[in-house]
Chain A
């Protein structure tokens, strides 16, 4: 799997004429998806300048925030992104790393979807950690990198609501996810 194409969903439905336009569309999309599950704020930095170094988008300081529903789950979300100009598509934002963690209130992380191609880890493809206290030979399951392919934030929201008994905060959440995936 390519490092550069893993998180390559274009974040703007129309070609952006400037880096700022591309970044604003990306940030608005993430904010809108998160609003399906939480009211937590999003921190961003780095402005709109294209560079090799990634920019960051962090929900609630990357803390786990409580989700509504009987399952008492939590969610932490952060992404890195880069801004590039494509001759055909104008300015675009591409994910460069992600961290989506679903946890259980008072217990901690249960599922952690990671993609960190720039770190020191030899595992550069998207993967899932299942934080179960199970030993497999000399390894613990929680440290095993289960391959996933690229995971979108929309996938996490859909998983939470459809499978994990999380209650959405907005009634148009299905439409919103559908439009983002179109």
Chain B
């Protein structure tokens, strides 16, 4: 086993963060990132609704 270095850390811009949120909201929940944000902030969906809601919600700060 070789000695490894640490993993790459990438600093995302807010635009890149928004794109990532949109990609993952569509991939996991079938809605846009913007729709996810609106419904999350309105309390219409929460972390307990289904397993992937929390997965997507964790991305929200990256989108600014």
Contacts and interface: CB of A to CB of B under 8 A. Distances in A.
Interface of A: 27-28, 31-32, 34-35, 38-47, 53-56, 58-59, 61-63, 76, 78, 80, 97, 99, 101, 108-109, 112, 114, 116, 119-121, 123, 129, 131, 142-143, 145, 168-172
Given A101-B55, A114-B47, A44 B1 contact: no
Contacts of B5: 35
What 7 A-B pairs are tightest by C-beta distance, nearest first? A56-B61, A120-B46, A78-B58, A45-B62, A170-B4, A31-B6, A41-B8
Contact of B1 (A78, A109, A169): A169
A41 B51 contact: no
A43 B10 contact: yes
Contacts of B1: 168-171
Interface of B: 1-14, 16-17, 20, 23-24, 40, 43, 46-48, 51, 54-62, 64
Given A31-B9, A35-B6, A62-B24, A45 B61 contact: yes
B9 A32 contact: no
Nearest to B17: A45
Nearest to B46: A120
A41 B10 contact: yes
B3 A119 contact: no
Given A35-B7, A56-B62, A129-B51, 5 more contacts: A34-B6, A42-B8, A43-B10, A56-B61, A170-B4
A160 to B, nearest CB: 16
Nearest to A168: B1
Given A170-B4, A172-B3, A45 B14 contact: yes
Contact of A119 (B2, B12, B57, B59): B57
Contact of B12 (A44, A53, A168, A171): A44
Contact of A43 (B12, B56, B64): B12
5 contacts: A31-B8, A54-B61, A78-B59, A120-B40, A170-B4
